[in-house]
Structure 1
Amino acid sequence: MKNSILSITITLALTYMSTAQAERLKIATFNVSMEALNYQSPQNRETATVSSNALQVALESNHQQIKNIAEIIQRVNPDIILLNEFDNQHNNEDNSHQALKTFSKHYLNKSQNGQKAIDFPYYYQGQVNTGVNSGYDLDGNGTPGVLPGDGFGYGHFSGHFGMVLISKYPIDVKNIRTFQYFKWRDMPNALQPIDPTTSKPWFSPQAWQDLRLSSKSHWDVPVEVNGQIIHILASHPTPPVFDGPEDRNGKRNHDEIRFWADYISADKSAYIYDDKGDKGGLKPLAPFVILGDLNASSVDGNAMNAGISSLLAHVDIQDAMPNSEGAEKHTQDNINAKHHTAFWRMRADYVLPSKMGLTIKDAGVYWPTEDEDTYRLIKDRAASSDHRMVWLDLLLNNK
């Protein structure tokens, strides 16, 4: 009898441990700089010579920067990760995802510098607005329809600076919502840029009617983890710079970030429509994680910090404020330095889970210090990226 009770106790304990382990989830975001300009010399970066195939060529050359990116991913070992600045060379026109498949097979699936190979059997690589020609003079240089400045998102070709979500857990593809075509003008109180020299709107009336909010896209990707759905809310807003006193990029960055704050707010999301025409935001009580290089900080940089500040302060969001010793040492005269996620000294990349359904267990920024061997992986942009991977270790609460 005692042996039977002991056996049952051990079985229950092992079952509990297994369940607890299965519920533990590491989610990350990483701007990997795997975009065409990173693989071409500065003198070959004119529009006509920036090739949409540059990433694929680099992948086929056993490129050290890409090997380092893969090694970082293997070392951190996330379950779900958003990769920003990963070129979608045909922007899904042929649905081949060639570069992504090459990266997975020849880099992630192979040990890098002794690390355990890693596999992400599920992915979503949707279309983006970067390099999609608007036909308008969006950059104000007097010539309409010329890339990269006149794309719906800045890019030298359709799919430039794209993004991809890769996952160890199944993606509910049928219920993905995308907002690539959502018009900026349809956001209530949108921050329409004004030319201060004329006091008139920066964009022509026709351009403003057609201009999309997302510089890349906004995605709501449901991922199924042990029978429960987590909504990955992925984006990569435009940098709030490279413009003029009209601050068109700063205002767009603000509103791209605001989109998520509205999307998760039942009282503010009624205006939102997705690319299928379905209206409204995220369903109440649905667990979510906002991921991406948001190109904004509430305390550093040139962004209109009201946008990111409002998101971080949202009643339904947790902010673990990940940090690293490497970042702190990189900028020793900045009190915010330990939270920086970019080489250029700012917190730009975020993993923001909902309070509903998720508990933060640990958080970090992959930023080795100069005295560590792994510093070779991040010593400069050529080594990997000018951004660092940000990750959170989460516990998925049972229903």
Structure 2
Amino acid sequence: MATYGAALSRDGPGLLLRDIRAGEAQAAAAAEVIAEAGPDILLLTDFDYDWEGRALDAFAGLVAEAGHPMPHRFALRPNAGMATELDLDGDGRRGEADDAQGWGRFAGDGGLALLSRHPIDAEAARDYSALLWRDLPESRATEAGLSEAVLAAQRLSSTGHWTVEVRPEGAAPLTVLAFAATPPVFDGPEDRNGLRNADEIRLWRHVLDGAFGPAPERRFVLLGNANLDPVDGEGRHAAIRALLEDPRLQDPRPESVGARAAADPDHAGAPALDTADWDGPGNLRVHYVLPSADWRVTGAGVVWPEGGPLATAATTAGPHRLVWVDLAAPEGAPP
């Protein structure tokens, strides 16, 4: 299992497909990193969505050319770039990227995409992305200073929240809980994005409680970009710490030698756990692969070498690093 926030979004619709077909270096580097990691199931958290899935098909072809075929694909239209008729950010203007359900310059900007070596049961997928922010139990939307009109329209998910069934041949199916949350920055003293980020993360605990229908009971994996470090950087750190400490989940704490070598001296968190290399906020742990407690973890890591060709490819692909966890059935249990 892996999640990767490679910068596979562009400034307008169709441009990602153009760049992939043209052999653009950044997209090729991201495909190289994925092929080197060799995941069975991969969630991309910054991938431009198009209705026919042409960019995703083309990128999967690029990964296959790099040596790692992943023939099964799944994506839903994200909230990112989904236009509204409202001034969601309250700046007096409408129709801007900040006025979409999730920040986006066009419909589909920076969505989610699932690639898999195993069949995906698209019909069994559940999409929580239409849930209004105010309708989350114990929602903090009213603390963000939103008008009644905005509260009646603003969705919780800035990109998307899904559960998707993957069915490996000869093994029990597993459920993927996929998401990407808004960064808890780029707002004002009302902390709109910080509050929303925390609630996007907290949604999963309600899903596991069964608040939105039957909860996954066994062999599931929650993964994606929470955009929140447990200790460092901005945001309401208690939200991600509560998820990491939930007894229904386990945290394999993937590490890398590259992150350890690039430690920020003023950060309090373990530097080896960082998953993104940013100027300004520094290196942070924001990407997570959290298996349910009934999995046996056999390995975990972050593709962040200290040097060499793979390190170059990882840097070329963008500031985010691929996070992976190897899983097996418990001893004595069927596959």
> TM-score normalised to the size of structure 1?
0.79
SS, match of residue 16 in structure 2? helix
Residue aligning to 1:63: 24
Residue aligning to 1:104: 60
Residue aligning to 1:208: 151
Mapped partners of 1:312, 1:141: distance in 2: 36
Mapped partners of 1:109, 1:128: distance in 2: 25
Q: CA RMSD in A?
A: 1.4
Residue aligning to 2:261: 329
One-letter identity of the residue aligned with 2:324: W
Residue aligning to 2:120: 171
Residue aligning to 2:108: 159
Mapped partners of 2:264, 2:136: distance in 1: 40
Mapped partners of 1:298, 1:109: distance in 2: 35
SS, match of residue 361 in structure 1? strand
The answer to whether the Cα contact below 8 Å between 1:128 and 1:159 also exists between their aligned partners in 2 is: yes
One-letter identity of the residue aligned with 2:288: Y
How far 1:207 moved relative to its partner?
Answer: 1.3
The answer to whether the Cα contact below 8 Å between 1:342 and 1:388 also exists between their aligned partners in 2 is: yes
Mapped partners of 2:160, 2:329: distance in 1: 27
Report which stretch shifted further, 314-323 or 202-211: 202-211
Alignment of 1:1-399 (within 5 A): 27-36=1-10, 50-88=11-49, 90=50, 92=51, 96-105=52-61, 107-111=62-66, 117-144=67-94, 146-194=95-143, 202-225=145-168, 226-265=170-209, 269-270=210-211, 272=212, 280-283=213-216, 285-331=217-263, 333=265, 334=267, 335-344=269-278, 345-356=283-294, 358-370=295-307, 372-379=308-315, 383-397=316-330, 398-399=333-334
SS, match of residue 39 in structure 2? coil
What do residues 72-114 of structure 1 show as CA deviations (whole Å, max 9, x unaligned)?
Answer: 11111000000111101x3x2xxx1111111122x11213xxx
Mapped partners of 2:329, 2:155: distance in 1: 34
The answer to whether the Cα contact below 8 Å between 2:77 and 2:108 also exists between their aligned partners in 1 is: yes
One-letter identity of the residue aligned with 1:100: L
How far 1:281 moved relative to its partner?
Answer: 4.2
One-letter identity of the residue aligned with 1:373: P
SS, match of residue 98 in structure 2? coil
Mapped partners of 1:264, 1:173: distance in 2: 20
Question: Matched residue pairs, number?
Answer: 325
The answer to whether the Cα contact below 8 Å between 1:341 and 1:389 also exists between their aligned partners in 2 is: yes
The answer to whether the Cα contact below 8 Å between 1:33 and 1:384 also exists between their aligned partners in 2 is: yes
Mapped partners of 1:70, 1:159: distance in 2: 21
Could you say which structure has the larger radius of gyration? 1
What do residues 139-187 of structure 1 show as CA deviations (whole Å, max 9, x unaligned)?
Answer: 111123x120100000000100111001011111111101121111111
One-letter identity of the residue aligned with 2:275: T
Mapped partners of 1:181, 1:281: distance in 2: 18
Mapped partners of 1:332, 1:148: distance in 2: 32
Residue aligning to 1:39: none
The answer to whether the Cα contact below 8 Å between 1:193 and 1:246 also exists between their aligned partners in 2 is: no
Gap change, CA 1:128 and 1:325, over 3 Å in 2: same
How far 1:308 moved relative to its partner?
Answer: 0.4
Mapped partners of 2:290, 2:9: distance in 1: 25
Structure 1: tracts of 5 or more residues without a match = 1-26, 37-49, 112-116, 195-200, 273-279
Mapped partners of 1:186, 1:193: distance in 2: 11
One-letter identity of the residue aligned with 2:284: M
Mapped partners of 2:309, 2:68: distance in 1: 21
Mapped partners of 1:373, 1:287: distance in 2: 35
Mapped partners of 1:214, 1:166: distance in 2: 21
Percent sequence identity over matched residues? 34
Mapped partners of 2:230, 2:264: distance in 1: 19
What do residues 17-67 of structure 1 show as CA deviations (whole Å, max 9, x unaligned)?
Answer: xxxxxxxxxx0000010101xxxxxxxxxxxxx421111111121111111
One-letter identity of the residue aligned with 2:152: Q
The answer to whether the Cα contact below 8 Å between 2:39 and 2:324 also exists between their aligned partners in 1 is: yes
Mapped partners of 1:260, 1:387: distance in 2: 23
One-letter identity of the residue aligned with 1:365: V
